[in-house]
Amino acid sequence: MKRLIVLAFMVSACQAEPRSASYFQAHPDDARRVVDACRQGAHRGAECDHAKAGQAATQADKRMELFKKSFE
């Protein structure tokens, strides 16, 4: 029983936590690589959604900056 608990802990520790959308917003190159890998089927899971959301947020920030500059 003790070995089973240790084994379960080791397996769960090996799985990386998916990076957040805010991470991908701050790291657009990583977001692009992950989105490309997701499109090719080489990457799956929540990180694909987070990378897409991070890219969308980055694009929205850029559009907002252009909008603000139009009033200067």
Closest CA to 26 of 60, 54, 66, 49: 54
Position 38 scores a pLDDT of: 95
Which alpha helices (DSSP H) does 15-45 contain, by range? Answer: 21-26, 28-40
What is the pTM (predicted TM-score) of this model?
0.73
Over the stretch 12-68, which tens digit does the pLDDT of each residue have? 455 689 999 999 999 999 999 999 999 999 999 999 999 999 999 999 999 999 999
